Amino acid sequence: MRVISGTAKGRPLKAVPGMGTRPTTDKVKEAVFSIIGPYFDGGRVLDLFAGTGGLGIEALSRGAERAVFVDMDPKSIEVIRQNLKTAKLENQAEVYRNEATRAIKALEKRGGGFDLIFLDPPYKMTQVDEMMMDLAQRGLVQDQAVIMVEHDADHTYPEQVGPFRSTRVAHYGETTISIYRYEKEEQA
């Protein structure tokens, strides 16, 4: 694994020891960024279920301003910190060890929305659509934000999840990437 493009291009990323994580392959990561846009002009990123931090680090390398990384595995947290240091992006990142739903509640208290959200939970978790709605209801999603959901190819998420509209679904073997855009509902 490595950073594919941007300021940290070519820097190697460590994997989390053991079988507890399933890092996004370079091939899938490259495909994701060709879909959502290769480079960014600032913006805030949330990498929930961060694992190695590879997706959020790639976004920072490609121009995102800040990123928040969340994972509940202490080994993952250590690897994310090492990978941020290797990529020389640690000053643009916050890393938290927390369970995803609790992290969302904690982030709500701090305020501010995200422009890009990576949701790459264990494949057995199939309620990511509910998590997307929770993020929106708590004010953590900016208008026109992009949400990437990585999931098992055997599971299908709906085309519309509240204010989230599917813009692309791509299959890579056992992995499916579903991309959504958040369209903020106007207050009546």
For residue 90, give the DSSP letter.
G
E-assigned strand segments in 6-163: 44-48, 66-71, 93-97, 114-119, 141-152, 160-161
For residue 12, give the DSSP letter.
B
Identify the bridge partners of residue 57 per DSSP, sorted by sequence position: none
| pLDDT tens digits for range 121-168 | 988 899 999 999 999 999 999 999 999 999 999 999 999 999 999 999
**Angstrom distance (rounded) from CA 134 to CA 138:** 6
| pLDDT tens digits for range 14-62 | 988 876 666 777 888 888 999 998 889 999 999 999 999 999 999 999 9
- 179: closest CA among 142, 133, 147, 145? 147
Domains and CATH numbers, the chain: 27-182 (3.40.50.150)
Q: CA distances (Å), 183 to each of 39, 99, 116, 166, in order?
A: 21, 27, 13, 11
pTM of the model: 0.94
- 23: closest CA among 85, 100, 64, 83? 83
Angle ∠(62,64,65) on CA atoms, nearest 5: 135
Task: Kindly tell me if the per-residue pLDDT of 186 is higher than 60.
Answer: no
Task: Kindly tell me if the per-residue pLDDT of 185 is higher than 90.
Answer: no
